[in-house]
Amino acid sequence: MTIPLSHREPFAPMRDIIGSGPAMAEVFRITRQVAQSNASVLLLGETGTGKELIAQATHALSSRHERPFVRVNCGALSENLLESELFGHVRGAFTGAIDNRTGRFEAAHKGTIFLDEINSTTLHLQVKLLRVLQEREFERVGDTQTISVDTRVIAASNRDLLELSGEGTFREDLYYRLNVVPIQLPPLRERTEDIPELVTHFHNIYNEQNDRYVVHIEPAALEAMQQYSWPGNVRELQNYVERAVVMALGDELTLDLLPEVVTSGRQPRTPGSRALDFNALTEELVYRGLHGPDSVESELHGHIVDRVEREVIAQVMASCGNVQIKAAAKLGINRNTLHKKLKEYGLDNGPAKE
């Protein structure tokens, strides 16, 4: 027996946002309520949970909907480039500044600016962001003229900003200015009841885009998708549904069209990665006699940090298809730093992908 997939897009409480379970119902409720105000919104959640869609919905439901919605990925640019991107610059402000340039805050005047991955900004830039939020004014890079703007700020982070504040990498005052209305986006593993709707939604999209006619889903395939924990969240599900539709030989989305990581229930891991065994590592350090007993703890910490960092970088590179600029943005570091880390950890396998 197969489960038919409707050709009609399922009801979505907000355009392009799928989910009718209780977790998303709460997200929709808060979004509608806050959209009518000018309050700053902080979207929190793992990568791939739909933070940008909620930001767009907040803008679309607001009185600013006819004005610009401007998105800035704060993790994709170095500090200097990001500062110029946000606030603009005047001619001669730095090497390569051959003309005056309007920044994104000016471009979003009377509209909304969405600061994605705001957790990746530097403390220096956070001071300027705090001023814009408080005073609604700034200067272009290299200029002394103050510019006033009326821009609604929506920020997003996949990290706990209060925790980062405790670590000294994010200003506490900026956190509180951004966190007027927080909206927590649930990971897909916590709203598996929405998976059938999401599969139907993406299936219809990719049928149309690829001129396919995959109109059924095998129960075993749907069960596997509902049991998988989806570390990449909705974005990962979307990719796997697209692949299944493209690769299907008939009119049914079957279990064998899904990747092994979904059908086996195992989490994706990079080749050669393994869990850290802290006790074994301690014994190894003592046995090797790297230093005296008093410094074993320090040596252990360094080894753990290196191993964890290497595995995180390897996993992010794999999830980004080994495209360094994407991986650097996801990690919140610049591309040069990532390149050095790849060489340091022996992960530099050939020419970088653009």
Assigned domain for 219 exists: yes
Domain containing 308: what range? 278-344
Q: Are residues 160 and 195 in the same domain?
A: no
Cα distance between residue 230 and residue 171, in whole Å: 32
* Residue pointed to by tokens 């005052």: 173
Q: Are residues 34 and 169 in the same domain?
A: yes
Q: Are residues 214 and 306 in the same domain?
A: no
Instruction: Identify the segments of the chain with pLDDT beneath 70.
Output: 1-16, 91-99, 265-305, 349-354
Nearest to 327 by CA among 318, 317, 337: 317
Q: Are residues 59 and 152 in the same domain?
A: yes
pLDDT of residue 278: 47
pLDDT of residue 200: 92
Q: Are residues 179 and 37 in the same domain?
A: yes
Q: What sign results for the dihedral spanned by CA atoms 247, 253, 254, 256?
A: positive
Distances (CA, A) of 143 to 77, 98, 139, 354: 21, 14, 6, 34
Domain boundary among 152, 184, 216: 184
Mind listing the pLDDT tens digit for each residue in 268-294? 543 334 444 444 444 444 444 544 444
The alpha carbons of the chain give a radius of gyration, in whole angstroms, of 23
Q: Are residues 135 and 238 in the same domain?
A: no
The residue type found at 208 is E
pLDDT of residue 11: 32
Residues ≥6 apart with Cβ < 8 Å to 133 = 40, 153, 174, 177, 178
Q: Are residues 158 and 83 in the same domain?
A: yes
pTM of the model: 0.70
Assigned domain for 10 exists: no
Distances (CA, A) of 287 to 131, 240, 292, 296, 353: 54, 46, 11, 11, 41
| Number of independent structural domains in the chain | 3
pLDDT of residue 10: 33
pLDDT of residue 95: 61
Q: Are residues 165 and 47 in the same domain?
A: yes
* Residue 165's CATH number: 3.40.50.300
Cα distance between residue 58 and residue 36, in whole Å: 8
